[in-house]
């Protein structure tokens, strides 16, 4: 029987690159919402875009992106974090970007679609060899997290 959770070194390097770039970009967007725009500013922005419950949604999204992006880059709890970030991007796509069309220059969804697809791919594939998931969860009976 083949071990489907094991990745070749080349595949794991590819997953590392995907995790670090995707996680870093998502974390930067979360940090921007918290530190540059500030949480009150992000709440106002979400309200202006018609996001439901902006007082709740804005801080949740900001911290999910910041913390989740960091965890994704490190490869820790990758499958869970990947799902959360994919959902975050899908909601952003539907609520904010879809009406503007594809192109990001017009406010469209191309960028959030790529980030969401990358996060979902990592949730489905796992973090790979070069990750905290592999280092910390290996042999703990929770292989589905790796």
- 33 within domain boundaries: yes
Q: Residue 83: which of 58, 109, 114, 119 has the closest Cα? A: 119
Listed in sequence order, the residues at least 6 apart from 77 whose beta carbon sits closer than 8 Å to its beta carbon are 71, 133, 145
pLDDT at res. 138: 74
Q: Is residue 48 over pLDDT 60? A: yes
DSSP class of residue 77 equals S
How many domains are there within the chain? 1
Residue 2 confidence class, pLDDT cut points 50, 70, 90? very low
> Residue 75 domain-assigned?
yes
How far, CA to CA in Å, does 43 sit from each of 48, 50, 107, 108, 130? 9, 11, 19, 21, 37
> Where in the sequence is the domain holding 90, given as residue range(s)?
10-134
pLDDT at residue 89 above 60?
A: yes
Residue 146 forms part of a structural domain: no
Average pLDDT over the chain reads 93
Query: Does 42 reside within a domain?
Result: yes
In a domain, 28, yes or no: yes
Question: Would 27 be classed as within a structural domain?
Answer: yes
Q: Is pLDDT at 5 greater than 60 in this prediction?
A: no
Does 63 reside within a domain? yes
Whether 143 is covered by a domain: the verdict is: no
């Amino acid at each position: 029987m083949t071990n489907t959770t094991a990745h070749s070194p080349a595949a794991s390097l590819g997953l590392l690159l995907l995790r670090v770039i995707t996680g870093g970009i998502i974390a930067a967007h979360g940090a921007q919402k918290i530190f540059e725009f500030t949480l009150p500013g992000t709440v106002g922005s979400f309200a202006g875009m018609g996001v439901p419950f902006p007082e709740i949604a804005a801080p949740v999204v900001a911290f999910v992106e910041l913390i989740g992006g960091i965890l994704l880059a490190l490869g820790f709890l990758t499958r869970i974090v990947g799902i959360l970030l994919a959902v975050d991007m899908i909601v952003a796509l539907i609520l904010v970007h879809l009406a503007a069309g594809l192109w990001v220059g017009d406010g469209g969804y191309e960028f959030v679609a790529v980030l969401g697809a990358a996060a979902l791919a990592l949730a489905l594939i796992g973090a790979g060899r070069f990750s905290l998931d592999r280092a910390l969860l290996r042999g703990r009976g929770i292989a589905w997290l790796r």
